[in-house]
Amino acid sequence: MSTAELAGKHLVLGMTGGIACYKIAELTRLLTKAGATVQVVMTDAATQFITPVTMQALSGRPVYTSQWDGRVPNNMAHIDLSRGADAIVIAPASTDFLAKLAHGFADDLLSTLCVARDCPLLVVPAMNRQMWSNPATQRNVAQLRADGIETLGPDSGPQACGEIGDGRMLEPAAVYEAITAFFTPKTLAGRRVLLTAGPTFEPIDPVRGITNRSSGKMGFALARAAQQAGADVHLVAGPVALDTPWGVYREDVQTAQQMHDAVMRAVPDYDVFIGVAAVADWRVDHVSAEKIKKTADRRIPEFAFVENPDILASVAALPHPPYCVGFAAESGDLDVHGEEKRVRKKVPLLIGNLGPLTFGLDDNEVILFEAGGRTKLPRADKQSLARALVAEIARRLPDQSIIS
Ligand code: CTP
C-alpha cells in the first residue's frame, strides 16, 4: 500500500472567482503529489483568473465548468462528480460563493454540487478585508460553521488590492496541512504534547561549538503528526533548518541547559513528553569569551567537560510526570541498550532506531521497548512513521479522565 499521505483520497476541488486562483495550481500539485485524486470544478468567474487547461494538466483529469456538460455518464454532473468523494474543498471561496452556500442556492454546477453532496465540505475563503469583515459575510460564515462546514483561514496580511488585513487565502502549503489534518483521526484530541527535537549546540568560544548531525526531521514529523491528531503541541527545538509545522508552538534553544530549562518550565502544563532531541551529553566547563587563537608555540588547546542535565530523566523523575517517551540511537546491540536505557531513564516507552545512520535520512525503522516487551514497526518514511508512532503513543496513554 502506498504510504503517501492522501493515498486513496478523492477530492472535488471547487474553484470560484478570485485572484487567489493562481494559488490553486500549487495546491493541486501538493494534493496529487500526496496521492489524492483531484477533480477540479470551476465557476465561470474562476475561469477568468486561470484556465481549465492549466487545471486539467495539473490534476490529470478533465475539468468541469458547466451544469450542462454531457461528459459524465448519466448527464448529471451535479450529482455524479461528488459521489465517491471524500470531501469537497472550495478554494478560493469568494464572498459570493459563501453567501450562496449559506443560503443553499444552486444556480451553477459548483453550487448545485455542494447542495447535492453526501460528503464533508471545506471552504477556503479569499477576499478583500472589507468584504471579509462585512457583517453579511460574517453572518454567512457563522451559518456555514453551524451547518458543519469547515472553514480554513483566512489569513491576514497584504492583499492583491493593495490593502492589508484579514481575508487573504491561506498559502497552498497551509491549505494542504489543514486538509491532511482534516483526514487524520483525532487520537490525541484534548492532549497536550511537549517535544524536544534536533541537536543541541554547546559553545566553546563565540564562533565554535560542539554539536551533532541530528537534522530534527523525526522530532518535527512527530510534532506535526501529534498536532494533526488533535493535540496542542509545544516543540522545543535545537538549531535546525526546518519550517515549523502548521499549528505547532515552537521554542528555539541552542544548548542542552537551555533545552532543559525550557522543558522544565513548560512541562507542568503537558500530559505527554517526547524526547527526540539528540542532546549533547557534555559541554565545556568554561566557554571562552574571546575567540580562541592559535598561540605562537602552536599549543593545542585543552578542554575540560562537564555533564549536561538529562532532560528526559529529569522529566520522568518529577513527582507527577507526564507520559514520557524516549528515543535511542545506538550504534549496535539495540536490543540490550534499548531496554536498559528505558529502565535507566524510568520511562514507560522507548523508541529505538534500528541502525545508527538515520540522522538526516528521510526514512527510518524502529523498535518500541516497553515493560511488556518489544514491537518492531516496518521501515517507513519519517512522516508515515511519525503517524504510526502517534497512534502507538495514543493507545498507551492513561485514560484522560484520570489525568489531573
Ligand atoms: N536525552 C535527554 N537529555 C540528555 C540526553 C538524552 O533528554 N542529556 C534523551 C534523548 O532525547 C532521548 C533519550 O534521552 O530521548 C536517549 O538519548 P541517548 O542520547 O540515546 O541517551 P544517553 O542518555 O545520552 O545515553 P548514551 O549516549 O550513553 O547512549
Q: Using the atom order of ligand 1, give the atom closest to the CA of residue 276.
A: 11
**Residue having the nearest C-alpha atom to atom 29 of ligand 1:** 330
- Cβ–ligand 1 distance for 316 under 6 Å, the answer no
pLDDT for 196: 98
- Cβ–ligand 1 distance for 221 under 6 Å, the answer no
pLDDT for 80: 83
Instruction: Give how far the C-alpha of residue 203 lies from the chain's centroid of Cα atoms, to the nearest Å.
Output: 31
Find the 391 Cα to ligand 1 centroid distance in Å.
23
Q: Which fold has domain 192-396?
A: Rossmann fold (3.40.50)
pLDDT for 1: 46
Pocket test for ligand 1, best of 312, 342, 349 (most atoms within 8 A of CB): 312
Fold match between 10-183 and 192-396?
yes
- Cβ–ligand 1 distance for 236 under 6 Å, the answer no
Find the 58 Cα to ligand 1 centroid distance in Å.
46
**Residue having the nearest C-alpha atom to atom 19 of ligand 1:** 278
pLDDT for 242: 97
pLDDT for 239: 98
Is 291 among the annotated ligand-binding positions? yes
135 preceded by cis ω (within 30°)?
Answer: no
Residue 278 DSSP one-character state: B
Q: Taking the domains of the chain in order of start, what are their residue ranges?
A: 10-183, 192-396
Indicate the pTM of the whole model. Answer: 0.91
Write b or e for each residue in 26-37: b if 16 or more Cβ atoms lie within 10 A of its Cβ, otherwise e: ebbebbbebebb
Is 311 among the annotated ligand-binding positions? yes
- Cβ–ligand 1 distance for 368 under 6 Å, the answer no
Q: How far apart, in whole angstroms, are the C-alpha atoms of residue 65 and residue 63? A: 7
Q: Which superfamily, per CATH, for 10-183?
A: Flavin prenyltransferase-like (3.40.50.1950)
Give the number of other CB atoms < 10 A from CB of residue 91.
27
pLDDT averaged per 10 residues in sequence order, the chain, 404 residues = 84 97 98 97 98 98 92 78 94 98 97 96 97 97 98 91 91 96 96 98 97 94 97 98 96 98 98 97 96 92 96 97 93 85 96 71 86 92 94 92 47
Instruction: Note the helical H segments in 116-189.
Output: 129-133, 135-146, 172-183
